[in-house]
Structure 1
């Protein structure tokens, strides 16, 4: 490869139809910190909300585009079908089971997956999520939960865990992961569905929960029809802008259609679709979320990248007010 291996997950971006309820669930129930209330830079009429650890360290962000008229998601292939979130210990998984019961969150029983304690759950729109214990994990370090969260720090979410891709033709996605993106195919584990192929495990960088991708083959399903509660894209970590520009050149040499370099202000990006149609993003670790707000006040006000400031009045007029200071 002419580029350095990717460092692991950067963020996952999903779709919600209700920013207010989304904010309540991810901050008051899951205890994540809203580190940035911004806009979808490709459609400034809708919010882009960033939830993460205490300061939005790379690898800890779960983000949402608000699309108020988003329809129902019909689950299927060529999709990001599960987002997992890391916690420090098996004890934390037990804590979360009780918390889900207390807040009437739809959830499964505690299970062991790939040697780790997990608990799968859904948000109010059916977003497919799972908590995974880092008790026996080695690899990419997690983040640091916000000490003002309603969830005790020792049980707090510390970042993104493995992300599952569900496809009809796994070999073409596997080839992109290994031959283009530098992932290593590490292992597999048995699907909990009868008579289905094992789910393949790929890892990058230092590996572990923060550097794994799961690849599931489902030839029995049609393509997913996304809506509220679905995932829009997954982003992977690149250490610097300089390295990202090498990726731009690298994909060009491979003749892989891509967005080219994209300025997102909080990080720099590059987008492309793997052959099954799932949208991948490569994103830099910096600059981060404190360029336009102090650490103490992250997420409290509507933040616009400088190149949108001259449109602030027009943008604010289109957005439904969302109080994030409470």
Structure 2
């Protein structure tokens, strides 16, 4: 069938410290905190969402915040790096910002046709800044931490590590319809999505490497975009027909979701573009108070008592990136 997945919807990772996470992603990266809610499957933990001005699909990075969670182990069967897109002209700005805040980084290095800077967040999660041609035309979040011309423009793609590349290639190419556009040594690059929000997925074949362990500082899953519920249902039927272990449709309030692991164990989600994040907050007030789904509202008092205190960013959407917050990767 013709591929009608529109790109990456969001990437979800795990943090052990909600406040430090907010400080870093809003204060250093300059993303907007667009939603503070809870993990619907574990209401004792925050679920934090970051993105552009209203959290358009393709700009969203989210975190499950499990206080004191042990550090995970990066390895095969995981998303091992999440890449943010920046304009080519912004490489120098971001290198200067990394130096200013004393954050260790690698690069810029050339990967296929792009320049890449790699760093780790305070939990050790690998985050990349990818200089992408033509991305400057897409708008980022116009907060105060980052000049608009240098702002992050969304999710550029992800890198996964696989022990058995062939099985993963079958799912990506033959079932999901991703296009294999380049390969170099043991890295295979796939492209998918609509022209205006095209995403890339790199598969690094790491045969014999140890398995990853999901915990703090690792990615939990990557979500792909479906425009409508009808498209999502069609994909559900396709996945079932190909004997992939796909879940029933889950109501995540801001989108509807199905989940399935590919043969190498990387967890994928297919999420709908709608209803979106302004369903319970105005665009101006996004991310300014704890939001719960209707089925958890009756437990609000108990949930708020269990959740750790959280200092919200300023009205402009950024937290102060304090000296405590600069202890990256420690």
TM normalised by structure 1 equals 0.92
Kept after mapping to 2: 8 A contact 1:272/1:281: yes
Counterpart for residue 75 of structure 1: 74
Q: Which residue of 1 aligns with 2:320?
A: none
Give 1:49's aligned residue: 48
Over residues 21-52 of structure 1, what are the superposed CA-to-partner deviations in whole Å (9 max), with x where a residue is unaligned?
00000001000000000100110000000011
Report the CA distance shift for 1:207/1:70 in structure 2 as closer, same or farther (over 3 A).
farther
Residue 230 (structure 2) aligns with: 242
Q: Is contact 1:35–1:56 with CA below 8 Å preserved after alignment?
A: yes
* Distance change in 2, residues 1:160/1:206 (3 Å): same
Distance (Å, rounded) in 1 between the aligned partners of 2:217 and 2:127 = 10
Q: 1:187 aligns with which of 182, 188, 191?
A: 182
Greater RCO, 1 or 2 (C-alpha within 8 Å, sep 6+)? 2
The number of residues matched between the two structures is 314
Confirm or deny that 1:149 pairs with 2:144: yes
SS for the counterpart of 2:300 is helix
Does residue 37 of the first structure (1) align with residue 25 of the second (2)? no
Secondary structure of 1:23's counterpart equals helix
Partner of 1:21: 20
Q: Check 1:136–1:144 CA distance in 2 against 1; reply closer, same or farther (3 A cut).
A: closer
Q: Which moved more, 1:116-125 or 1:161-170?
A: 116-125
1:160-199 paired onto structure 2 within 5 Å: 160-189=155-184, 197-199=185-187
User: 1:162–1:213: 8 Å Cα contact kept in structure 2?
Assistant: yes
Shift of residue 107, structure 1, vs aligned partner: 0.8
Instruction: Give the aligned partner of residue 192 of structure 1.
Output: none
Deviation, structure 1 residue 274: 0.5
CA distance in 2, matches of 1:185, 1:79: 19
CA distance in 1, matches of 2:72, 2:313: 31
Query: What does the per-residue CA deviation read over 1:41-74, in whole Å, with 9 as the maximum and x for residues that have no partner?
Result: 1100000000111110000001000011311222
2:118 alignment counterpart: 120
Once the two structures are TM-superposed, the CA of residue 307 in structure 1 deviates from its matched residue by: 2.1
Aligned partners of 1:109 and 1:256: how far apart in 2?
Answer: 38
Is 1:275 the counterpart of 2:270? The answer is no
Once the 2 structures are TM-superposed, how far is the Cα of residue 209 of structure 1 from its aligned partner? 7.7
What are the superposed Cα offsets for residues 206-234 of structure 1, whole Å, 9 maximum, x if unpaired?
Answer: 36884211000111311012221110000
Question: 1:315 deviation in Å?
Answer: 1.2
CA distance in 1, matches of 2:246, 2:218: 22
Q: 1:287 aligns with which of 250, 275, 292?
A: 275
Is the Cα contact below 8 Å between 1:76 and 1:221 reproduced in 2? Answer: yes
Question: Which ranges of structure 1 fall in alignment gaps of 5 or more residues?
Answer: 190-196
Structure 2 gaps, min length 5: 315-330
SS at 1:282 equivalent: strand
- Aligned equivalents of 2:166, 2:137: Cα separation in 1: 30
Q: Does the alignment pair 1:130 with 2:125? A: no
* Structure-2 change in CA distance of 1:274 and 1:249 (3 Å): same
State the Cα distance separating 1:311 from its structure 2 match.
1.6
